Amino acid sequence: VRVTLLSGGVGGARFATGIVDAVGAGALTVVGNVGDDLEVLGLHVSPDLDSLLYTLAGVGDSERGWGRGKETWNALETVEELGGEAWFRLGDRDIGLHLVRTEALRRGSPLSEVTARLAAAFGLETALLPATDDRLRTWLDTPAGALPFQDWFVRRGHRDPVNRVRYEGADSARPAPGVLEGLREADLLLIAPSNPFVSIGPILAVPEIRQALSERNVPCVAVSPLIGGQAVKGPAAEMLARLTGGTSAAQVTSCYLGLIDVLVFDEADADDADGVAALGVRPLVTRTLMSDRDTTRRLAEAALEAATVTQ
């Protein structure tokens, strides 16, 4: 079975490990978000691709959920001492990766090629693809003005309410090599329990990706990032409430209308099942907290099984 997963960073990466445990690393293609990429200290940072890379390679920091394990912070401390930009946390090992990526991009390699090279160096068997090689950036319209994603998320701690999400560059962005093949040749498609607006939204904003999903011939199963109407971590619930009027599983479904056949969501939200079904999407209620490797694998298996049944 070949599986293609659309994913953000931390939540998506954890879910991806469950899929790998269930179907094997070689059966999985991951299409990662690049809307929150940034340039800082002259380095090109792709936070979600790196969360996926480090997690799937088994070298991530499982406690933080992002960055590398056994990390040290000497370079950033020096940056701070010297009055440089230290608000975006980059560890020493992480910086090493960013040096290699940034140099390759500057020499003209597309992001997909650089990502493949890094993934190969880490021994990754899963295909890890950026949604696009083109410049695509997420912006948030807030009462404090329009903020680039990382200013809103990291620098200001996502405290500003979001009136609108925009994906700069998306209209003219083309899917990276392998993405359309991954979507068209998979036996089933999955959307990770990632933030629908700032992790999955930028991927779906690439016109040919959205089109490929809406024209799919195989089932697409999404997993909700909310449990009991609340995010496990991050601003998904606040955003959903403000942008769609509530935090039910039906409201999560509304983010993916026409693109998914099944929504997997938590027992705590079981009452929302009728609302999901009313939108023409099959509700599948199970435990969705990925607290350890076993529960993560079980969630992945539930999503895979939902797709098989739908077929």
Q: How far is the CB of 57 from Ca ion (least distance, A)?
A: 18
As measured in angstroms, the least distance from the Cβ of 105 to ligand GDP is: 21
The reply on whether position 11 binds Ca ion by CB under 5 A is no
Q: Does 36 bind Ca ion (CB under 5 A)?
A: yes
Cα separation of 261 and 105, whole Å? Answer: 38
What DSSP line would sit under 128-178, residue for residue? EEESBSS--EEEEEETTEEEEHHIIIIISTT-SPPSEEEEETGGGPPBPTT
Q: Using the minimum distance from each CB to Ca ion, give the nearer residue, 206 or 262.
A: 206
What one-character DSSP code corresponds to residue 61?
-
Do residues 44 and 37 make contact, with C-beta atoms less than 8 angstroms apart? yes
Min dist CB 70 to ligand GDP, Å, is 20
List residues binding ligand GDP (CB under 6 A). 7-12, 48, 51, 192-195, 199, 223-225, 227, 231-234, 236, 288-290
Of the ranges 8-16, 64-72, 138-146, 254-262, which one interacts with Ca ion (CB under 5 A)?
8-16
Q: Tell the smallest beta-carbon distance from residue 291 to ligand GDP (Å).
A: 7
Residue 288's binding partner, choosing from Ca ion, ligand GDP, none, with beta-carbon cut-off 5 to 8 A by kind? ligand GDP
Cβ closest to ligand GDP, residue 184 vs residue 282: 282
Judged by beta carbon, residue 193 or residue 283, the one nearer Ca ion is 193
The answer to whether the CB of 12 falls within 8 A of the CB of 225 is: no
Match 């998306």 to its residue by tokens: 170
Give me the torsion for CA of 108, 113, 114, 115, rounded to 10°: 150
Size of the site for Ca ion (CB under 5 A): 4
Residue 290: CB minimum distance to Ca ion, A: 16
The crossing angle, in degrees rounded to 10, of helices 293-310 and 10-23 is: 70
